[in-house]
Amino acid sequence: MLQDSKNTKKIDFENDLEDFLEHSLSGYVSAHPGGEIIRINSKLLEWLNYTNEELIGKRITNLLAIGSRMFYETHLSPLLKLQGFFEEVSAELVLKDGSKLQVLLNGYVRNDEDNKPLFIRLNIYRATERKIYEDNLRLAITDAEKTLMAERELATLREQFIAVLGHDLRNPLGAIKSGTSLLTRSVTLSDRDKSIVGMIKNSSLRMEELITNVMDFARVRLGGGLALDLKDRLIEPILLHVTEELQITFPDRIITVDFQVKNIINCDADRISQLLSNLLANALTHGSTHEPVNVTARIEVNYFELAVSNGGKPIPEDVLETLFEPFTREASTPSQQGLGLGLYIAFQIAQAHGGSLTATSNTTETCFTFRMPVRITGEQ
């Protein structure tokens, strides 16, 4: 184009900020403090697909999709009034055809020398890729939450299953036990009958133990571990009771007892009973039938120790290593010890008490030792 050389002002594109703003890759809007649009750059018009005339005098909020509009009125507009700016706010523009464009907004208030607001200015950056990234993140969160919910439902189901198992199996078993107790007292029983009743009774006791073990295993492995009901208890009578019970079940065996515990211990008495019962039953089942089983209990300065030992064939080294894992049974012996959960649960009880359960075995004796830390709270 030919130009009158006198009137020509050569446009200096390099230094023309006006041109830079107009043809920038970002959108710019100026508005009155009340929000009416004064100026809007080409890039933003291009995005929105409106003409300049269509937007001058409209409000900034007219450019925003409803979520962003509400956010602007309730949050961004107050921020402009209170601190004069906001930065990096994600928003949605609504375009002429009704579709949305994801953007980032920065806004500030331009004041005059008397600190009165002159304009609101917004810088707008396209953020469609960022939106996709955020959407993906959100989807990942939703998926993770769904999985978590499903797992939780499963856990609840498991808890219910355990509870039902315990309740429903124990009740009929209780009836069998009461029945055998009544039969034992009957005077009309033949010796053969008595022996059969005795077998039923022992079997039902054994079954009760198995149910308890299975339920405990389920709690530990599938649930959140063994829950303890800790109370200050005089421990010795509890231990004596367990040994007496097992003596009745194994009338032909000798159980020696050496208890030196007159103290009150903070523990779950039922669980400690279970631990001793499991250890003792284990010793009576696997130990030499000709030698006694010895149970000792004592208090040291800061720990309580309970030990059960028996004579007989030593436990092989490799078995000793996995002794406290579930379903460990001695392959050589006929399966009279059930599922092999007794020692596993005893170990869990020891751990739940903050203590330890260890095993040593040689040709002289096999010994299981339980130790738990104690704070001596009282003496009889």
CB-based contacts of 240-243 (< 8 A; 24+ apart in sequence): 241/273, 242/273, 242/276, 242/277, 242/280, 243/276, 243/280, 243/295
For the chain, where are the E strands, in sequence order? 27-31, 37-40, 85-94, 100-111, 117-126, 231-234, 255-260, 264-267, 293-299, 303-310, 356-361, 366-373
Specify the residue, 73 or 325, whose C-beta has the smaller distance to other proteins. 73
Specify the residue, 31 or 343, whose C-beta has the smaller distance to other proteins. 31
Closest approach of Cβ 76 to other proteins, in Å? 9
Task: Write the interaction track for other proteins spanning residues 14-53; mark x where CB under 8 A is met and - where it is not.
Answer: -------------------xxx------------------
- As given in the structure block, the two tokens for residue 372 are 């738990």
Kindly indicate which of the ranges 87-95, 199-207, 269-277, 356-364 contains the residues binding other proteins, using the contact rule CB under 8 A: 87-95
Task: Write the interaction track for other proteins spanning residues 118-137; mark x where CB under 8 A is met and - where it is not.
Answer: ----------------xx-x
Among 53, 88, 229, 300, binds other proteins (CB under 8 A): 88
170-229: which residues touch other proteins (CB under 8 A)? Answer: none
Kindly indicate which of the ranges 79-87, 230-238, 265-273, 316-324 contains the residues binding other proteins, using the contact rule CB under 8 A: 79-87
Specify the residue, 83 or 322, whose C-beta has the smaller distance to other proteins. 83
Q: How far apart are CA 249 and CA 14, in angstroms?
A: 102
249 binds other proteins (CB under 8 A): no
Write out the DSSP string of 199-217.
HHHHHHHHHHHHHHHHHHH
75 binds other proteins (CB under 8 A): yes
* 205-209-212-216 Cα dihedral, nearest 10 degrees: 180
Among 27, 55, 68, 219, binds other proteins (CB under 8 A): 68
